[in-house]
Amino acid sequence: MHLLTLAEMSHGLEVGQFSSLELTQHFLDRIARLDPQLNSFVTVTPERALEQAKAADASRAQGKSSPLTGIPLAQKDIFCTQGVRTSCGSRMLDNFIAPYDAHIVQRCDAAGMVMLGKTNMDEFAMGSSNETSYYGAVHNPWDCSRVPGGSSGGSAAAVAARLAPAATGTDTGGSIRQPAALCGLTGLKPTYGRVSRWGMIAFASSLDQA
């Protein structure tokens, strides 16, 4: 299932080829098996993911679904997530549990997407190689001796290794574009202000884009 595109996953869920629960468990199994070599995730949230997957399946059964309902994704660890640690790759925030969800997390949840976990990143998004994280460097899945780029290197590595079909990122000076290029992916940097930065730990608010 991890070889499917997002459109193919959406279609498979729509026609009942597989459930969101099955799809989510498939990616959780891949993370458990492969991520120790890549270090692309800081936090994996299997319980939350499986609960969201069950809810997505229930919504679809009731005819209440969007094209993204039941699709797993990874959230960059710069976005606040209620009840789940948000570290921004720093020891300073190692025990920070946000009491609310960032706007982008709220939008993903509202669409019925399933959060697999939080991805590694350069500390406070200040880096371009993903070697400055308190949780260790992220490795490029195409060659583990290479960097994945930064600061959204964990997100890029996770998608390139097919540990997640999609992931969020942020871009102040190339932090979506560069990791996407280094990991052989397409990275979308929205127009400044198009996506609310509420709940995103700031680097430079006049430049940050989610």
Q: Which residues are catalytic?
A: 76, 151, 175
Q: Which tokens belong to 123?
A: 């500390």
Q: CB–CB of 119/77 below 8 Å?
A: yes
Return the bridge partners of 117, or none.
44, 74
Which of the 8 DSSP states describes residue 202? P
Count the Cβ atoms, other than its own, within 10 Å of residue 96: 13
Q: DSSP secondary-structure letter at 115?
A: E
